[in-house]
């Protein structure tokens, strides 16, 4: 993408013009959440100004308009991730709820002697729900190991599949700490070869690369709207029809039923079986608008722009004496984790903030990675489509200054 094209994109994000103290904001905490373009902000206002009404239950005009707008957004999500049918798209609060929905369903069908597989680089939201499912069902949890560089051991994965009764695998596409892009296509094929289902945590992949769930052939795919320019509180669970139909629903309530008597309830067809209660209507509609925004730029263009920035950031940060980079897999996306030898990551983050540079520090909700690396945390810069080489230069300059302040 040209500088002019990026500038045009930046103009859609007024918050990027903000000053932090006397410094321009350099926003590099996109792995936590992205900023929102005007079209998304306007969509929320527009919804409340013009069509606010509950969905799927009214005969009146506004209810029909809001239902149509929400179902139109569902179609956009379906097209965006190349799902076969709209009824495979469940609106949730985000990746965490999407994973909990499947883990909760699984907790009712797993038993003693069954195995759940996750990887060594999972976010807590792809660890804890499975621990809870194992606790409830008596199943065991096995973990795919990784190398110090942040590459999963696929041979060890196949051994786990071969030697255990694995019912479900749940792995991240892209690590939010190490940036590793995992070979999920191969991992999906292997899971299926050994008769297991597989869920892909797409929280850190969906904003950065084209996604095709049909080509991947994953059974479930989870992601969050707020990491891809949509509001917080909206996300997606994709599932194959036969898988979603086979699992018991996650929550009970209005909208998810077919018929209710005190003796027995029958469930609504997909996707409503998994959407109990009044949904985040304006969030779903705004997610549809965020998808329009992404499609207009093009996921291939976003992917190559961010790859260029990642390469530039890696080479520039490497120039700094004492720089330690965590995650050096050949395929990386989005996240760049580092420390300076002798400095605590929280101090680095605070001093960068004093210079207008927003990054995240700590364990990034992935404590097992920190334990494995033997560190308390990292500083992490993470990218979005509106970032520029200038942002990276500011990060590098501020890191050098912080280093001088901390270590002399
Ligand atoms: N999975 C991965 C890989 C993530 O990076 C995150 C959030 C989640 C799941 C949970 O997403 P949520 O939207 O349901 O909260 N990751 C981060 C992060 O890296 N910094 O803040 C949140």
37 belongs to a structural domain: no
Q: State pLDDT tens for residues 116-135.
A: 999 999 999 999 999 999 99
Residue 352 belongs to domain with CATH number: 3.90.1150.10
Query: Is 85 found in the same domain as 210?
Result: yes
218 as an active site residue: the answer is no
Distance CA 78, CA 135 (A): 34
Predicted pLDDT at 369? 97
Average pLDDT, the chain: 97
Q: State pLDDT tens for residues 10-55.
A: 999 999 999 999 999 999 999 999 999 999 999 999 999 999 999 9
Q: How far is the CA of 171 from the centre of ligand 1 (A)?
A: 13
Query: Is 25 found in the same domain as 130?
Result: no
Q: Which residue has the tokens 């002798």?
A: 342
Distance CA 404, CA 343 (A): 11
Structural domains of the chain, count: 2
Q: How far is the CA of 125 from the centre of ligand 1 (A)?
A: 7
Domain hosting residue 70, numbered range:
42-295
Quote helix, strand, coil % in the chain, to nearest 5. 45, 20, 35
Q: Which residue has the tokens 């069509």?
A: 51
Predicted pLDDT at 184? 98
Last residue of a domain, one of 263, 295, 327: 295
Q: How far is the CA of 191 from the centre of ligand 1 (A)?
A: 24
Query: Is 215 found in the same domain as 102?
Result: yes
Q: State pLDDT tens for residues 311-346.
A: 999 999 999 999 999 999 999 999 999 999 999 999
Residue 114 belongs to domain with CATH number: 3.40.640.10
Distance CA 198, CA 245 (A): 16
Query: Is 190 found in the same domain as 76?
Result: yes
Atom of ligand 1 nearest to the CA of 175: 3
Predicted pLDDT at 324? 97
Query: Is 233 found in the same domain as 330?
Result: no
Residue 408 has pLDDT above 90, yes or no: no
Query: Is 218 found in the same domain as 275?
Result: yes
- Which pLDDT band holds residue 58 (cuts at 50, 70, 90)? confident
Query: Is 309 found in the same domain as 237?
Result: no
Q: How far is the CA of 123 from the centre of ligand 1 (A)?
A: 7
Query: What residues have CB less than 8 Å from 358, skipping those under 6 apart?
Result: 20, 25, 26, 27, 28, 29, 352
Catalytic residue (choose from 78, 134, 218, 365): 365
Q: How far is the CA of 296 from the centre of ligand 1 (A)?
A: 25
Pocket of ligand 1 (CB under 6 A): 31-32, 94-96, 123, 125-126, 172, 176, 201, 203-204, 224, 360, 364-365
Query: Is 370 found in the same domain as 393?
Result: yes
Q: Whose CA is nearest to atom 5 of ligand 1?
A: 176
Q: Whose CA is nearest to atom 17 of ligand 1?
A: 32
Contact 377, 362 (CB under 8 A): yes
Atom of ligand 1 nearest to the CA of 125: 9
Query: Is 218 found in the same domain as 186?
Result: yes
- As to burial, measured by CB atoms within 10 angstroms (0-12 exposed, 13-18 middle, 19+ buried), residue 364 is buried
Q: State pLDDT tens for residues 265-315.
A: 999 999 999 999 999 999 999 999 999 999 999 999 999 999 999 999 999
34 belongs to a structural domain: no
**Between vectors from CA 152 to CA 210 and to CA 160, what angle results, nearest 5°?**
115
DSSP letters of 196-210?
-EEEEE-TTTTTTS-
Site to probe by mutation for ligand 1, drawn from 32, 34, 95, 283 as the one with most ligand atoms within 8 Å of Cβ, is 95
DSSP-assigned beta bridge partners for residue 235: 92, 224
Query: Is 368 found in the same domain as 232?
Result: no
Query: Is 154 found in the same domain as 23?
Result: no
69 belongs to a structural domain: yes
- As to burial, measured by CB atoms within 10 angstroms (0-12 exposed, 13-18 middle, 19+ buried), residue 374 is exposed
Last residue of a domain, one of 241, 267, 295: 295
Predicted pLDDT at 60? 95
pTM for the structure as a whole:
0.98
283 belongs to a structural domain: yes
Query: Is 147 found in the same domain as 24?
Result: no
**Between vectors from CA 333 to CA 327 and to CA 335, what angle results, nearest 5°?**
60
Q: CA-based Rg of the chain, rounded to a whole angstrom?
A: 22
């Amino acid at each position: 993408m040209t500088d002019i094209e990026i500038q045009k994109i930046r103009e859609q994000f007024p918050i990027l013009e903000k000053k932090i103290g006397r410094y321009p904001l350099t926003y590099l905490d996109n792995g936590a959440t992205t900023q929102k373009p005007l079209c998304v902000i306007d969509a929320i206002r527009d919804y409340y100004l013009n069509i606010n009404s509950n969905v799927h239950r009214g005969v009146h005009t506004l209810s029909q308009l809001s239902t149509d707008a929400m179902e139109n957004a569902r179609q956009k999500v379906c097209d965006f991730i190349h799902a076969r049918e709209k009824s495979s798209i469940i609106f949730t609060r985000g990746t965490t709820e999407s994973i909990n929905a499947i883990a909760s369903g699984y907790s009712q069908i797993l038993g003693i002697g069954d195995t759940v597989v996750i990887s060594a680089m999972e976010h807590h939201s792809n660890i804890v729900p499975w621990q809870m499912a194992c606790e409830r069902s008596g199943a065991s949890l096995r973990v795919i190991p990784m190398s110090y560089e942040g590459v999963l051991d696929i041979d060890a994965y196949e051994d786990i599949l071969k030697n255990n009764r694995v019912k479900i695998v749940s792995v991240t596409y892209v690590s939010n700490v190490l940036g590793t892009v995992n070979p999920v296509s191969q991992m999906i094929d292997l899971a299926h070869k050994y008769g297991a289902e597989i869920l892909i945590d797409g929280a850190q992949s969906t904003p950065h690369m084209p996604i095709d769930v049909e080509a991947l052939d994953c059974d479930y795919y989870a992601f969050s709207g707020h990491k891809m320019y949509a509001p917080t509180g909206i996300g997606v669970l994709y599932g194959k029809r036969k898988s979603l139909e086979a699992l018991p629903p996650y929550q009970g309530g209005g909208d998810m039923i077919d018929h209710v008597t005190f003796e027995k309830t029958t469930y609504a067809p997909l996707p409503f079986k998994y959407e109990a209660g009044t949904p985040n209507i304006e969030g779903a509609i705004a997610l549809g608008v965020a998808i329009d925004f992404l499609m207009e730029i093009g996921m291939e263009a976003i992917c190559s722009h961010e790859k260029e920035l990642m390469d530039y950031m890696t080479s520039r940060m490497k120039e700094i004496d004492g720089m330690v980079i965590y995650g050096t897999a050949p395929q990386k996306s989005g996240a760049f984790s580092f420390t300076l030898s002798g400095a605590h990551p929280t101090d680095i983050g605070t001093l960068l903030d004093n210079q207008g540079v927003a990054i995240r520090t700590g364990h990034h909700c992935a404590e097992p990675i920190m334990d494995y690396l033997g560190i308390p945390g990292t500083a992490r810069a993470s990218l979005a489509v509106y970032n520029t080489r200038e942002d990276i230069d500011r990060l590098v300059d501020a890191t050098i200054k912080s280093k001088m302040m901390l270590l002399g």
